[in-house]
Structure 1
Amino acid sequence: MAFLECRFFSESLGLSCSMNVILPQATRGQIGMKGRVRGKKHPVLVLLHGMSDDHTIWARRTSIERYAADLGLAVIMPAGNLSWYQDMASGPKYATFFREELLETARSFFPLSERRQDNFIAGLSMGGYGALYLALTQPEKYAAAASLSGAVDVANIADGRDEHWRTVMRSVFGDFTKIGGGASDLFAISRKLVRAGVKLPAIYSCCGTEDHLLLGNRRFAAHATKLKMPFTYEEHEGFGHSWDYWDQQIQRVLQWLPLKR
């Protein structure tokens, strides 16, 4: 695998951005790894970080490079900062960046597939919410999306904790008491898509039974089941909001992705 860190200027954000990129490499000489290349253009997984981390965290806390090596899969790990992957009420337009610039810019640098069936997105915690939000607001772009311990019920966690938390959430969502039923609410977005008959990406969601976000994940799973969305939900006994769980589950996600094996 080739591992690169890229910096580039974003027009929609008006600032310099960072992303780490893992690219497939056909090789037999790397110890413990079997490199694979599928064709001229690689399938892509966009992998999002959580609220307390940055674009480097997946490579530092998991073996994502090793896990992806024999799949012939490119992995893009961009910086989303504290944006919740939204066009912020008091900040840059991150949703616009992720929808309109990220993949297009990456494709200008690297041979990445434009086909829907080759593009996937996943994330943990804030990034789990972001992965589902971006996939459901652009269902024509992604074939599959995965949330690991995702903050998927954002309307019910925005107004809580301490004043610092509320300040951050106001900077992103503005009046966060109005998230429920609005344009940032996964429940409302998915309900609207299903009623309109839109083809949805396949969705995988998981959460540990000791995670503080468990109830929100259960609520969204019940919602998705009721709507008959293409949805897989798993709970895992004894795990909390931690990297030992996410390192394990990103391997599950990679096996779940609809890649030709």
Structure 2
Amino acid sequence: MALIHCDFFSEVLGLSCSMYVILPQSTHNQIGLTGAARDGKHPTLYLLHGMSDDHTIWVRRTSIERYVAPLGLAVVMPAVHRSFYTDMAHGLKYWTFISEELPAIARSFFPLSAAREDNFVAGLSMGGYGAFKLALRHPDRFAAAASLSGALDVAARAAAGTEEWRNIFGDPSRVRGSDDDLFALAERVAKSDGPKPLLYQCCGTEDFLYADNRRFMAHARELGLPLTYEEEPGSHEWGYWDLKIQRVLEWLPLRRDV
């Protein structure tokens, strides 16, 4: 595998940004690790961080490079600060950045596939919200999305009315039913004739976001969306996410012929 720390300029944000990128490499002589790579452009997992983290966190807290080595899977890990993957009401356009600019820039730098069947997204906490938001707003671009302990009910969270939530989403009363509301997006995808991404969702039963996750799970199942849901004892911490990202990689509809 190649681990690349990539600094680049975002026209959308008007500032310099960073991402970590893991690229597949076929290897046979590394001690304790055998890497695989497909011919041509690589299938890609966009792996999103939580609210207090950055683009380095998945590499620092898990063995993600080792986990993906035999899969021939590229991983793109961008930094979006505390934006909630949203075009902020009082801030920068991080939704446009993550959904439009970042994939185009990453594909211009690296041999990443643009085919829907080769594109996946996952994240934890705030990143779980971002992952489902990307897949539900663009089901034509992503074959699968995974949320680990996701902050999935932002309308309920925004109702707290703190300054930070207002800076992100604006008037909290307008979040429910908007393009930032995963519950509304799920209904839209369920009612459409278009493709429906596979969804994976997990949350620990001691997590402060457990109730939010149960609400979204019930909603998605009522709509008939293709959701795999798992819960077990666990809280909002990296021991849990390190285990569950391995489960996500097993679950992904990824071609295994490498």
- Cα distance in 1 for partners of 2:126, 2:153 equals 11
Mapping of 1:36-51 within 5 angstroms?
36-51=36-51
AA in 2 matched with 1:23: L
Could you tell me the percent identity over the aligned residues? Answer: 61
- Cα distance in 1 for partners of 2:140, 2:192 equals 14
Secondary structure of residue in 2 paired with 1:246:
helix
Q: Does 1:251 align with 2:250?
A: no
Bigger Cα displacement from structure 2, 89-98 vs 56-65: 89-98
Does the 8 Å contact 2:86/2:93 carry over to 1? Answer: yes
String of CA shifts for 1:77-118, please: whole Å, max 9, x gaps: 000111100001011111111121111111111111111000
AA in 1 matched with 2:81: N
String of CA shifts for 1:164-204, please: whole Å, max 9, x gaps: xx221111101123211222110011102212222111000
The Cα of 1:211 is off from its aligned counterpart by: 0.3
Secondary structure of residue in 2 paired with 1:114:
coil
The Cα of 1:14 is off from its aligned counterpart by: 1.1
- TM value normalised by structure 2: 0.97
Secondary structure of residue in 2 paired with 1:203:
strand
Secondary structure of residue in 2 paired with 1:152:
coil
Q: Does 1:6 align with 2:6?
A: yes
Secondary structure of residue in 1 paired with 2:33:
coil
Counterpart selection for 1:211 from 199, 203, 207: 207
How many residue pairs align between the two structures? 256
AA in 1 matched with 2:236: H
- Cα distance in 2 for partners of 1:25, 1:9 equals 27
Following TM superposition, the consecutive aligned residue runs of length 4 or more in structure 1 with deviations greater than 2 angstroms are none
Partner of 2:119: 119
Q: Once superposed, what is the RMSD of the aligned Cα atoms?
A: 1.0
The Cα of 1:11 is off from its aligned counterpart by: 1.1
- TM value normalised by structure 1: 0.96
Secondary structure of residue in 1 paired with 2:215:
helix
AA in 2 matched with 1:10: S
Partner of 1:90: 90
String of CA shifts for 1:100-147, please: whole Å, max 9, x gaps: 111111111111111100000000000000000011111111100000
Partner of 1:241: 236
Mapping of 1:174-213 within 5 angstroms?
174-213=170-209
- Cα distance in 2 for partners of 1:193, 1:206 equals 21
